[in-house]
A and B are shown apart, each in its own frame.
Chain A
Amino acid sequence: MKRILVTLVVLGGVARAEEIHPEIVEKAPKSTQWMVEMLFDQGFFSGRGVEPDGRHIGISWTRDPAVPTPVLVLRSQLPDGTDVKGRSIRVVDQGGTVLIPRFLYPSTPKVYHSAYDPSVNPLPVGTKIGEWTVVASVDGDAPDPIVDEVDPGTYVYALVPAVRGTRPDTYTGFPGDAVVTWSVSPHAAWFNRRRWFHLALIAIIAGSLFGFTWLAKRKELFVRRLAGVDAIEDAVGRSTEMGRPVLYVTGVEETQDIQTIASLLILGHVAKIAAEYDTDIRVANAFPLTMVIAEEVVRQGYANAGRADAHRPENVMFITSEQFAFAAGVNGMILRERPATNIYFGRFYAESLMLAETGFLTGAVQIAGTGELTQLPFFISACDFTLLGEELFACSAYLTREPNQLALLKAGDVMKVVIAVLVVGFTVCATLAADNLYPFTRFSIEDVLP
């Protein structure tokens, strides 16, 4: 736990009073004791949904005696490694209401600078005044820390008691004692502990992968039949018999989308089958980068079938990145060229039904696969075969039947079992906690999982 607890006992105000009006000393209020806490630790930030990336500093304070006066929090950056002690500070001249240059420009006290009147010039968060930046304005103390986002470096904070003006973010006075904190630097973590469970899941799947890879080399792994994938070859054969092309749509998302990647992986196999059957395959892409990759994948598919010469690059097309314009373009292809097989693999949105219904009208065999939950009903109602969610991702491994890939499918199954056990376990725990059964009431799921 990287915390710094700073106690600043402010005596400056009393000393000044002694010099100017000695009779006030007896009546002077007790000096304010500031308890300032600076926080950098990972638990603190993660608990507030903030990344412990070394760009955040938490600051909280209480005053003794407790004062309800608002506090203006200001930040100033120092040269890296500067070590400054916490201290009290004068922000206004005696009895004045204007922030003085000596406070605003502490690094150049002998250079002339103008004062700043915050009663007419608002100081919203983010405003720069002199060498300071306004971080927050809090009514009273802040026992719950303020999280300040900063660049990596060294900083000091000024906590200035203030009286609010009538206009927003204006201040008509600065009574009481202001303090400057010790110099602080944010600390970055090298591991986000809130994500330990994600890492554990990856470790489980990786461990299972190695286990099943070892097993796959010794015995044949069972993979349940995927009717939609089995139908691909039949559908391509039908296209060959009818002398019509196969249409393959890679979805409407960009290349980095995992469903587009899965679609491109399957495309290679479909292209190989199409090449073997000597059937044209038209590939419609919504993004040019997807088109470039798809063209390469189809070329390799033809090469794998030993028919590299039959590949026609112009059959892999970039249509447009606009969703409905893409739907219109593909619908036009379906109606003009009347492909005998339409394959829709990837991420789809509202255009899914437009494509599938148009394909249905032309009497094509349609195979769809998507992980986009909202579009599955549309594909199921309009297509002959639909790969639901995970089946899309399993399709490529299913087609290759390669032991390493099947091992990864099995590893995924292990993870699903782990998740199912966790779901059941946590459901039981939550139910028991709801019945006030000790010790389940002591824990929250947020304590265990991010």
Chain B
Amino acid sequence: MKKTLPVAFGMFVGCYMVAEYFIPHHAVRDLSAHVLEWGGVVAASAYVIGGINLVQVTWPKIRRREPDWGFKVVLLGSALVMALVGLPWRSLYGTHEPGYLDPLPGPDLAAQKNNKAIVFVDAPDDVVLTLGSITTSTKHMLASCSQRSPLPCVFVDPGELSLKAGRSVVGYDTFEKKVNLAAGDMVTLAANPGMRWGADGRFRTWIYDHVFAPCNATMFALLAFFVASAAFRAFRARNVEAALLLGSAIIVLLAQAPIGRWLTTSLPHLSDWILDILSNGSRRAIIMGAAVGAIATGLRVILGIERSHLGGDS
């Protein structure tokens, strides 16, 4: 029962997913979408187990002061910090609107005469404002447009106006609204976007951009040296096959460099021929073989022929 039930369930779901590929009916697709959502939920919940595993593996090494245990402290500390800054703390104490619009009564006659509307802005200096096609901040606005308000302001054309207020750095709220203004209309845009917490919050984004991304780029950059080292070993002509590989590599490398064209104009054509005919043919053969192998593996699991993952050799 311990093996039969999972195999039967796996067969049922597997056969359904295969059948789904051939059935375009929307009812089947909707059901599949639900099943895939469940899969997503299971995968997401596995991250909790992953976190527990991380502690289980790391903590004993710290406790026993195994070699390089300090790195494990950094690992656990970093994981803890990212978990903390990734939580939506603000939802605990509620959120406030990042801004609002406050229309002022009566038209401004001077602005009306000039066929303009006025937007007053009540926002800190570091708030970036987009008023239609104008991007500005309070520092760069007019000090006064009307006696009706002492706030910094800007004249805009009448009609529909898109207003947007946000900070110059990511991880803060954004206020967005559209408003229809007639000539002489006045409106106050008050905005003070707050800092977000969570996956797109300021702290997490900053750590990701300023700590993780550079480390990631460093690792990727190391690849160049690994490639050089591997190429040096691979291109030694120890036998006929290796010599052919070396010859092909020299032709393709030279064809990519200016010196190749300088030596002979037929080198790029030879390189293209190697890549398009010899290399491409072999690549396709491997791809087709792998595709057939993938189908066979899928069938083995779906039909319950392969059960080694459930505790049996077959």
Contact = CB atoms under 8 A, between A and B. Distances in A.
Contact of A314 (B49, B57, B71): B57
A258 B294 contact: yes
A262 to B, nearest CB: 5
B22 A353 contact: no
A357 B234 CA distance: 12
A120 to B, nearest CB: 9
A424 to B, nearest CB: 13
A372 B18 CA distance: 23
Interface stretch (A132-140, A391-399, A434-442): A391-399
B84 to A, nearest CB: 17
Interface string A303-338: 110000000011011100010110110001000100
A98 interface: no
Contact of B24 (A188, A255, A412): A188
Interface string B25-69: 111010000000001001100111111011011001000000110
A394 B23 CA distance: 30
Contacts of B179: none
A316 to B, nearest CB: 8
Given A52-B24, A188-B26, A265 B309 contact: yes
Interface stretch (A73-81, A123-131, A288-296): A288-296
A405 B305 contact: yes
B223 A53 contact: no
Contacts of B314: 400, 402, 404-405
A294 to B, nearest CB: 9
A205 B230 contact: no
Interface string B296-314: 1111110001101111111
Contacts of A249: none
B210 interface: no
Contacts of B298: 258, 261
Interface stretch (B116-124, B263-271, B284-292): B284-292
A408 interface: yes
Interface string A158-189: 00000000000000000000000000000011
Contact of A324 (B46, B48, B220, B293): B220
Contacts of B289: 388-390, 416
Given A54-B25, A206-B299, A265-B309, A254 B233 contact: no
A371 B233 contact: no
Residue from A291, A318, A404 having most chain B Cβ neighbours under 10 A: A318
Given A261-B301, A303-B311, A380-B234, A371 B293 contact: yes
A346 to B, nearest CB: 12
How many of chain A's residues touch chain B, expressed as a range?
35 or more
B220 A415 contact: no
A220 B104 CA distance: 91
A394 B286 contact: no
Contact of A55 (B26, B220, B226, B293): B26
B237 to A, nearest CB: 14
Given A304-B311, A324-B219, A357-B226, A408 B23 contact: no
Contacts of A152: 26
A21 to B, nearest CB: 38
A112 interface: no
B222 interface: yes
Contacts of A252: none
Interface in A40-94: 51-55
B216 interface: yes
B229 interface: yes
Interface in A177-220: 188-192, 195, 198-199, 201-202, 205-206, 209
B308 A396 contact: yes
Contact of A300 (B21, B222, B296, B310): B310
A350 B221 CA distance: 11
Contacts of A101: none
A378 interface: yes
A261 B297 contact: yes
Contact of A205 (B54, B220, B296): B296
B1 interface: no
Contacts of A402: 313-314
B287 A373 contact: yes
B283 interface: yes
B305 A389 contact: no
Nearest to B284: A423
Interface of A is mostly: helix
Contacts of A291: 46, 49-50, 53
B295 A388 contact: no
B87 interface: no
Contacts of B47: 288
B231 interface: yes
Contact of A389 (B53, B230, B286, B301): B286
Given A188-B26, A317-B57, A289 B300 contact: no
B292 A416 contact: yes
Contacts of B222: 354
B56 A389 contact: no
A192 to B, nearest CB: 5
Contacts of A288: 43, 46-51, 53
A255 B306 contact: no
Nearest to B61: A314
Contacts of B68: 332, 336
Nearest to A325: B216
A269 interface: yes
Given A189-B24, A419-B288, A382 B230 contact: yes
Contact of B288 (A357, A397, A404, A416): A416
B314 to A, nearest CB: 4
Contacts of B300: 396-397, 405, 408
Given A357-B226, A390-B290, A412-B296, A289 B42 contact: yes
9 contacts: A54-B26, A258-B294, A265-B301, A314-B56, A325-B219, A328-B219, A354-B226, A392-B290, A415-B292
Given A268-B309, A332-B71, 16 more contacts: A54-B24, A55-B26, A190-B23, A192-B22, A205-B299, A261-B301, A288-B47, A314-B53, A336-B68, A356-B230, A373-B287, A389-B293, A392-B290, A400-B313, A402-B313, A412-B293
Interface of A: 51-55, 152, 188-192, 195, 198-199, 201-202, 205-206, 209, 254-256, 258-259, 261-262, 264-265, 268-269, 287-289, 291-293, 296-297, 300, 303-304, 313-314, 316-318, 322, 324-325, 327-328, 332, 336, 350, 353-354, 356-357, 371, 373, 376-378, 380-382, 388-394, 396-397, 400, 402, 404-405, 408-409, 411-412, 415-416, 419
Interface of B: 18, 21-27, 29, 39, 42-43, 46-51, 53-54, 56-57, 60, 67-68, 71, 212, 215-216, 219-220, 222-223, 226-227, 229-231, 233-234, 283, 286-290, 292-301, 305-306, 308-314
